[in-house]
Amino acid sequence: MKKSILVGTGLIGSLAFPSYVFGSSIREILERKPEDVLLAMMIYGETSGCIPLEKLFAGFTPFNRIEAGKSYFGTTSLKNVLLYPKAYNCFDDSEKNKKNLTRILSPNKKDKEWIESVMITKGILRRDWTNYNQGQTHFYDKKLKKLLEQKKLGINPNKLKPIDSKGFKHQFYREI
């Protein structure tokens, strides 16, 4: 299936999207991925253009949600936390996210950001950098702060304690 991509006012090209990116089967495809791959995909998809420390902070969030005793689809498995609807935007199969979803489903193995995401995932799973874990359970692009304050992101902002995120594109929070 080919889709045209519009940027600004001009057609810049036509990209071939794999058919599995569209439709209801995306969840099934993601569910077949191993948990470590899903974690690397989340870091890669959510923190594009961020510094490695910010990627590390993001990588701890699903584990902290599990630690907080949050139930996702009745369990607290890493896979269920990562794939819970609206938990991580990079796994959203909406029209506006198709380009990012295609990128994370088929990452360029030589892409510096993918390599960083894989290395950070391995380090988190080996528990190399636990001293950077500040209990962060949520993070939002700082541009979305107003939406958070207006409770349009589905989280009660009164239940989130900000974590120092100076120098990051995202604001990190710990659910209280």
Q: What is the pLDDT of residues 6-49, one digit of tens each?
A: 333 332 333 344 444 445 478 889 999 999 999 999 999 999 99
Report the candidate in 174, 107, 171, 121 with the shortest Cα–Cα distance to residue 142: 171
Q: Taking the alpha carbons of 151, 155, 158, 162 in that order, is the dihedral positive or negative?
A: negative
Neighbouring-strand partners of residue 163 = 172
> Could you tell me if residue 152 is inside a domain?
no
Question: What order do you get walking across the sheet with 160-163 strand by strand?
Answer: 138-141, 170-175, 160-163
Please count the structural domains in the chain: 1
Tokens for 111?
């892409």
Separation of alpha carbons 176 and 76, rounded Å: 18
> Could you tell me if residue 170 is inside a domain?
no
Polymer length of the chain: 176
Separation of alpha carbons 43 and 52, rounded Å: 10
Query: Tokens 């295609």 appear where?
Result: 102
> Could you tell me if residue 69 is inside a domain?
yes
> Could you tell me if residue 123 is inside a domain?
yes
Over the chain (176 residues), what is each successive 10-residue block's mean pLDDT? 33 38 71 96 96 97 88 78 90 88 93 97 95 91 68 67 93 88
The SS3 call for residue 14 is strand
Containing structural domain, residue 122: 24-134
> Could you tell me if residue 168 is inside a domain?
no
Q: What pTM, to 2 d.p., does this model score? A: 0.80
